[in-house]
Structure 1
Amino acid sequence: MKLHFDDLIIGAGSAGCVLARRLSEDGSRRVGLVEAGHWPGDPDIADPLKWPALQNRPYDWAYRTVPQPFTANRIHGWSRGCIVGGSSCLHAMAHVRGHPTDFDAWREAGGESWSYEALLPAFRRSESFSAFTHSWHGADGPLPVHLPDEEVSPVVRAYIAAGQALGAPALPDHNSGDLAGTTPNSLTIRNGRRVSLADAYLTPDILDRENLTIVTGCETERLVIEGGRVTAVLAVLDGETAHIEANRIILSAGAIGSPLLLMRSGIGPQEALKRAGIACRIESSEVGENLQDHLLGLGNVYRARQPVPVSQLQHSESLMYLNSDDFGRADGSPDIVLACVVAPSIADGLQAPPFGSAFTILFGVTHPRSRGRLVPTGPGRNDPIIIDPRYLEHEYDRATFRKAFRAARAVGHHPALDAWRAEEVQPGSAVQSERDIDDFIARVASTHHHPCGTCRMGSDGASVVDPDLRVRGLDNAYVVDASIIPRIPSGPINAAVVAIAEHWSASLR
């Protein structure tokens, strides 16, 4: 089978859905979007309360890391969406742009066009907020952002009150400039249902565009490279080889899929490719490097004094960003984060209290300094991959995680939660020493599902893509997804990924 497009987008995740909509607005261009998964068919995806149960279903890539020495040698499951809509069909729906200074590292890497001020129109273009607390909010974008009010759990209201009593500022929402403080989560929910990026950007209004072709069940094998250009993509569709040609190739397969496709095509660190049996065509030492992810401690659990009502939102209703040395400091990017879950939320291998009998305060570090890597073990799309995030390898991460845990306890034991808290059951009052806290963190630190950075953008020659997101060494190949992020922002990265795709597509006009 042979296909030809002007623009071929590989991966229908968050970025790919945005690109398909924006690039196909030019009716003169033939746009192709290929996705290994299929259209969503599981009704649980649309139910905001079902997201914790979506992992390991057929539309989850269900990656696994290698054992992590600083998390008690545990192997971590990494859920990634193999479905139209990608991981926006699986995640917890929190919409957090990040603090404006989070993007200083992006500006340093890519110039003024990647500053927060330059990205702000892209954020706004994507969003449609249910209420307005700041002029920075988007009003009529494809992605609805719900600002909860009366639906917020009374447990979460008490948790917010505890944070404020400890000095944390009250915020109107997470996307109005300042980030340190307390507020309910902004959520990509409409009428009580999840809105994935496929829901927002593809269905139903652009599916009838004659210049847009969406091909599902199409697994990409490698790029065909001739003379510094990608002339085609080899893929497998319905068990047969598909030869897809395009004038411009855009990799939007995510922080795992995009670097793997480059490496399987011979673009990457020469020694790593050699070990995988792949001939190196373009030496690019940082492909697959700079891997970053957020961890959350699951969690600081409290047995409730009274039955905990079922969430009317999505269980994890409020992220609280804090400066660990001064909860009342609002300026700058916060270094720790807490999250209140109106349910028991604990790491694998630990016994959870019954649902409805407990609540949890999660805790984590916003800007981890540990950097991991991923590499293929062979040239084929089904060959195993080695994912090594090197969690908590950096001493800063371990020290700051202790601060985050102590902050969770300070909030959890505050009198504002007296009506709800009976006792701390995880880790329990006996855990007080630094060593015991470290042991607890090692057993409960778990992915927040924010992998990024593996095709780093930069102006330096070592970066994988340049500030235009063009793959170095190729004239017509680009990476537009979470993998280009130089430094992880403070919060969930989906809002930033959407902005990357909006920003890049607008730059083509």
Structure 2
Amino acid sequence: MTRHFDVLVVGAGSAGSAIASRLSEDATCRVGLIEAGHMPADPDIADPLKWTQIQGRDYDWAYRTTPQPFTANRVHEWPRGKVVGGSSCLHAMAYVRGHPDDFVPWEKAGGARWSYEGLLPYFKRSEAFAAFPAASRGNTGPLDVILPEEAVSPIARAYMAAGNALGAPKISDHNTSPLNGTTPNSLNIRDGRRLSVADAYLTPEVLARRNLTLLNGYEIERIEFNGTRAAGVLAVVDRIAERVSADRVVLCAGAISSPLILMRSGIGDPEALRSAGIHCHIESREVGANLQDHLLALGNVYRSKKPVPPSRLQHSESLMYLHSKDVTRAYGSPDIVLGCVVAPSAAEGLEAPAYGSAYTILCGVTHPTSRGRILPGGPTRSDTPIIDPHYLETEYDRLTFRTALKIAREVGHHSALAEWRDVEIQPGPAAHTDAALDDFIARAASTHHHPCGTCRMGGDDNAVVDPSLRVKGLENVFVVDASIIPQIPSGPINAAVVAIAESWAASAPSLA
């Protein structure tokens, strides 16, 4: 017998977990939540210090990009969570909403509800923030946000002091104050353990609701249609095809899988679909386009004069957002970011000293202008997708990245770090010309794990989804995840994805 739901949510990652939880609060709404992976079973997922070690395991989709010409023709690993909780089970747990100005392009694309002010109630609704009272923060939401002042490494403190000495503002945290300046990272950690969005939203009490069904191990082949309406999805579970029907289908499969599911279902650029052996059902040329991601250089590494104490948090303890032309500027969205890792952090092929002997300053560009694309490698879910982020393709990205590295080195060589700094290992004292810095960036730049934009929201004809996040050309299919983001915000995107989900869930009854 075919299962049927009022709403079928595809993907139990950050967006899907929040939406399924919120929609199932209405006991009359039958909600199905489909996830390709299973409940987390690896204890390393919960250990905040092990997030760098769990990539590539069987709950990682383990995507790979095409070779990137501007990063020394390297192929980049793109971890994505194949597990209940999605990539919030793999990421570094930093919680950053973004600068309010980051959301101006969102408002232009979709109206006031997608401005920072429009999203603020949903940021607050999601949060449990208890570090200090603030009118702009939530304190009763499912998602714990901690500000771990006492546990911050002395190296991270010295790094922040160096930034302040160079003029960077000192701020209370990344989400209450203006974003620009220095502060320890806010983190999604509860009682010393990673708090995934599924941990927060899909509690045992929520999963016990009679109107919520979690279907694990279901990989989506395609959406099935009756004209311009989705009838449901064709999934494969234990090698057996199964149809799941629904009145509404909500794709929350993320910036890679959501566009791929649409394209396998015949929604996309006709030429691209034809090349993959897929019949075009509805033309939508930007499905899979507008791909954006943050890069970080791994990294500006320093050997320490004395043993580096192990992190008591998650290694990467402080992000510093700055304006590259004036680090003292406290207003306007920043264009670069630095980060302090209290461990050696080097890209593959670069020297990485022993743990405990070195620390790292990361750097990157907050608003890259390069735009990539995702394409299906064939008509089925087992065909390897083509992921081409076009990293560092624009002159702006390359020049701004070079400036970010120069500022990272200024911080790294400041006297505030003198008691720790022995010698710079990467890029090393010999790297002093622009050409040498560009060469290092090409070899060191690595994903910050923030892919987005591939089902762009907008009111224009070319946008994939409209401001209600309904797929254009379809009556009852929506995309609600990082893929709808028109322009990437300054920092880690998980906080914004949860707010997107909260906002959409609040309006969902009117979209039936």
Q: With structure 1 as the length reference, what TM-score do the two structures score?
A: 0.99
Matches of 1:361 and 1:336 in 2, distance apart? 13
Aligned 8 A contact 2:263 2:287 in 1 = yes
Aligned 8 A contact 1:459 1:466 in 2 = yes
Aligned 8 A contact 2:171 2:177 in 1 = no
Matches within 5 A, 1:215-254: 215-254=215-254
Aligned 8 A contact 1:152 1:312 in 2 = yes
Matches of 1:497 and 1:259 in 2, distance apart? 16
Matches of 1:133 and 1:461 in 2, distance apart? 44
Q: What secondary structure, in the 3-state scheme, does the structure 1 residue paired with 2:199 have? A: helix
Which amino acid in the other structure matches residue 427 of structure 1?
A: P
Could you tell me which residue of structure 2 aligns to residue 138 of structure 1? 138
Could you tell me which residue of structure 1 aligns to residue 328 of structure 2? 328
Aligned 8 A contact 1:99 1:177 in 2 = no
Q: How many residues align?
A: 509
Aligned 8 A contact 1:55 1:79 in 2 = yes
Matches of 1:96 and 1:73 in 2, distance apart? 31
Matches within 5 A, 1:297-376: 297-376=297-376
1:445-476 C-alpha deviation (Å, 9 max, x unpaired): 00000000000000001100000000001000
1:362-407 C-alpha deviation (Å, 9 max, x unpaired): 0000000000001002110001110000000011000000010001
Aligned 8 A contact 1:95 1:188 in 2 = yes
Matches of 1:14 and 1:132 in 2, distance apart? 26
Matches within 5 A, 1:8-87: 8-87=8-87
Matches of 1:154 and 1:114 in 2, distance apart? 39
Which amino acid in the other structure matches residue 4 of structure 2?
A: H
1:211 aligns with 2:211: yes
Which amino acid in the other structure matches residue 385 of structure 1?
A: P
1:397 aligns with 2:397: yes
Structure 1 stretches of 4+ with a deviation exceeding 4 A read: none
Which amino acid in the other structure matches residue 417 of structure 2?
A: L
Could you tell me which residue of structure 1 aligns to residue 154 of structure 2? 154
Could you tell me which residue of structure 1 aligns to residue 432 of structure 2? 432
Which amino acid in the other structure matches residue 216 of structure 2?
A: T
Matches of 1:288 and 1:195 in 2, distance apart? 30
Aligned 8 A contact 1:66 1:387 in 2 = yes
Which amino acid in the other structure matches residue 6 of structure 2?
A: D
Q: What secondary structure, in the 3-state scheme, does the structure 1 residue paired with 2:150 have? A: coil
Matches of 1:312 and 1:130 in 2, distance apart? 20
Q: What secondary structure, in the 3-state scheme, does the structure 2 residue paired with 1:150 have? A: helix
Matches of 1:238 and 1:355 in 2, distance apart? 41
Percent pairwise identity: 67
**Aligned-residue offset at 1:133:** 5.4
Q: With structure 2 as the length reference, what TM-score do the two structures score?
A: 0.99
Which amino acid in the other structure matches residue 269 of structure 1?
A: D
Q: What secondary structure, in the 3-state scheme, does the structure 2 residue paired with 1:52 have? A: coil
Could you tell me which residue of structure 2 aligns to residue 294 of structure 1? 294
Aligned 8 A contact 1:96 1:491 in 2 = yes
Aligned 8 A contact 1:402 1:438 in 2 = yes
Q: What secondary structure, in the 3-state scheme, does the structure 1 residue paired with 2:431 have? A: coil
Which amino acid in the other structure matches residue 300 of structure 1?
A: N
Matches of 1:76 and 1:508 in 2, distance apart? 37
1:315-369 C-alpha deviation (Å, 9 max, x unpaired): 0000000011111101000000000000000001112101100000000000000
Could you tell me which residue of structure 2 aligns to residue 446 of structure 1? 446
- Structure 1 alignment gaps of length 5 or more: none
Which amino acid in the other structure matches residue 321 of structure 1?
A: Y
1:493 aligns with 2:493: yes
Aligned 8 A contact 1:133 1:173 in 2 = no
1:484 aligns with 2:484: yes
Matches of 1:408 and 1:333 in 2, distance apart? 19
Q: What secondary structure, in the 3-state scheme, does the structure 2 residue paired with 1:102 have? A: helix
Q: What secondary structure, in the 3-state scheme, does the structure 1 residue paired with 2:361 have? A: strand
Matches of 2:377 and 2:318 in 1, distance apart? 40
Could you tell me which residue of structure 2 aligns to residue 386 of structure 1? 386
**Aligned-residue offset at 1:177:** 4.1
Matches of 1:155 and 1:130 in 2, distance apart? 25
1:65-99 C-alpha deviation (Å, 9 max, x unpaired): 00000000000000000000000000000000000
Could you tell me which residue of structure 2 aligns to residue 90 of structure 1? 90
RMSD over aligned CA atoms reads: 0.7
Which amino acid in the other structure matches residue 35 of structure 1?
A: E
Matches of 2:62 and 2:252 in 1, distance apart? 18
Aligned 8 A contact 1:133 1:172 in 2 = no
Could you tell me which residue of structure 1 aligns to residue 109 of structure 2? 109
Q: What secondary structure, in the 3-state scheme, does the structure 1 residue paired with 2:230 have? A: strand
Which amino acid in the other structure matches residue 416 of structure 2?
A: A
Q: What secondary structure, in the 3-state scheme, does the structure 1 residue paired with 2:204 have? A: coil
Matches of 1:438 and 1:176 in 2, distance apart? 35
Aligned 8 A contact 1:100 1:177 in 2 = no
Aligned 8 A contact 2:7 2:31 in 1 = yes
